[in-house]
Structure 1
Amino acid sequence: MIPFLQPFFKILYDTSGLIQWGGLTAIFIIVFAETGLFFGFFLPGDSLLITAGVLAAAGYLNLLHLIVLATVAAILGDQTGYAIGRQMGKLLFRKKDSFLFKHEHLERAKEFYDRHGGKTILVARFIPIIRTFAPPVAGASEMKYRTFVVFNILGGMFWVLSTVLGGYFLGKVIPNLEHYINLVIFIVVFVSFIPIAIEYLRRRKK
């Protein structure tokens, strides 16, 4: 990691502190950027939403407002990614690596899309990194817009509801869980990267 960025990442991955500082606005921006912009692949979408659910259970956030806002951000993010991919077309796959863009992630999303088709937009919501690159791949591959919108809305709703409500119900069942949020985040990150590890092992066997 570049040394001068370490303080930034420290703040970014302190999801509890970030939410208490920026509230729903911070949640909207991060969810939108992670799902809609290439550089958003490193943002903590899953852990952020689960943390938000835990904090909603503790009374820091309004649950309904959280769900609605995060869902809108997720849907708009994917729509933006699709529009970027549609605009760039095949040029997207010739884009060179940069600090904010990794061609390897794009290729991984393309392989996933080739295997699963339209369902990629729904399933990818639950897979870090693939989640960011699947919409532009769908756009560049000329997925029908109506099909994309359906999978986008369903995926956005399922992702937000499962993560936020998961955190909310955990927060209700386990007293003072908000004080142990780092442990929760560790478990979430570990579980969310299991599909990536499985995919990596599958590719190595080829």
Structure 2
Amino acid sequence: MEQFESWKDLLNPEFYIKMGGFWVILFIIFAETGLFVGFFLPGDSLLFVSGIYAVDIMTTTFGGSGSDLLDTTLLAGCVSVAAILGNAVGYWFGRKAGPSLYKKQDTFFFKKKYLFQAQKFFLKHGSMAVIMARFLPIVRTFMPIVAGIVDMDRAKFLKDNVIGGILWSFSLIFAGHYLNELFSKQFGIDLKSHLEMIIIIIVLVTTLPLILKFVFSKHEVDNFEEDIH
């Protein structure tokens, strides 16, 4: 089992895979999408790297099926369930907590500005925001909470939640698994040996849109907060 050495390990998806494998992956995906304290967890990169290790993960946990496709599909399916359940908990929490969250003081685990950003995203994109938010770090953590706060129709939320959870989980896990297979067969490159660079690229690709939006529209978020209050 992987040993914890520094806080940097918390941002390294390979650490979680080697530390606890299948069950830790499910918990992290549930926490990142269902508990607002999970916004700092490595969701996208964890799924991609999990795809690279899919067969190893399923073999270690359940003995494996002998089929790469089946093992990868089963892993993606289980992750989808964890993501869907996480969003459902976030939605329920939003309905129960309601406007009181906007009065909550910032802590290390809770940043009110993220809540405003998620609400603005929801108001702009409607129910599709639940699906789209899956692919946006931080926003995906707060989106189900916002959907609950604004009392989004439960049936619509359930539909978008299921679609988003499946698309997010299967696309990233299958991308990790089959890109690793492609690079290995065609170029003799094992992506497991280049995980640090891959993680950096994924983080940049997924966070750059949020960074640019924050830089160029910070005043809009501030005005939005004033309107809410």
What is the TM-score normalised by the length of structure 2?
A: 0.82
- Quick check: 1:116 aligned with 2:130? no
Name the aligned partner's letter for residue 199 of structure 2.
I
**1:69-111 residue CA offsets vs partner (Å, 9 max, x unmatched):** 1101100000000000001122222222122111011111011
- Does the alignment pair 1:47 with 2:45? yes
Cα separation, 2, equivalents of 1:152 and 1:196:
21
Cα distance in 1 between the residues matched to 2:72 and 2:208: 28
| Residue of structure 2 in register with 1:180 after alignment | 194
Number of aligned residues: 200
User: How do 1:185-200 and structure 2 match up within 5 A?
Assistant: 185-200=199-214
Q: C-alpha distance in 1, partners of 2:12/2:191?
A: 15
State the match for 2:28 in structure 1: 30
| 1:18 corresponding residue in structure 2 | 16
How far apart are 1:60 and its partner, in Å? 4.4
Task: Indicate the residue corresponding to 1:166 in structure 2.
Answer: 175
Q: How does 1:142-153 map to 2 (within 5 A)?
A: 142-153=151-162
Gaps of 5+ in 1: 1-5
> CA–CA distance in 2 between the matches of 1:8 and 1:149?
38
Q: Name the amino acid aligned to 2:14.
A: S
Q: Give, in whole Å, the separation in 1 of the partners of 2:95 and 2:21.
A: 33
Report the Cα distance in structure 2 between the residues aligned to 1:19 and 1:56, rounded to whole angstroms: 10
Q: 1:68 to 1:50 in 2, by over 3 A?
A: same
8 A contact 1:50–1:166 mirrored in 2? yes
Q: CA deviation at 1:137?
A: 0.5
Take 2:115 and 2:12, find their aligned partners in 1: how far apart are those partners? 27
Q: What TM-score do the two structures reach when normalised by structure 1?
A: 0.91
Q: Is the deviation greater in 16-25 or in 100-109?
A: 16-25
Deviation at 1:7, TM superposition (A): 4.6
Contact 1:15–1:51 (8 Å) recurs in 2: yes
Distance in 1 (CA, whole Å) between partners of 2:127 and 2:106 is 26
Q: CA RMSD in A?
A: 1.7
User: Where do residues 128-143 of structure 1 align in structure 2 (5 Å cutoff)?
Assistant: 128-143=137-152
Q: Secondary structure of the equivalent of 1:142?
A: coil
* 1:181 positional shift: 1.0
- Write the mapping of 1:50-69 to structure 2, written as runs, cut at 5 A: 50-56=48-54, 59-61=56-58, 62-69=71-78
Unaligned runs of 5+ in 2: 59-70, 185-189, 221-229
Shift, 1:198, TM fit: 3.0
Deviation of 1:22 after TM superposition, in Å, equals 0.7
- Percent identity reads 38
Counterpart-to-counterpart distance in 2, 1:8 and 1:148 = 38
Using the alignment, how far apart are the partners of 1:41 and 1:35 within structure 2?
8
Query: Which has the greater radius of gyration?
Result: 2
Per the alignment, residue 115 of structure 2 pairs with 106
SS of the aligned residue for 2:109 comes to coil
Cross-structure match for 1:89? 98
What's the CA shift string for 1:143-173, capped at 9, x where partnerless? 0010100000000001001110111111101
8 A Cα contact 1:50 1:167, kept in partner: yes
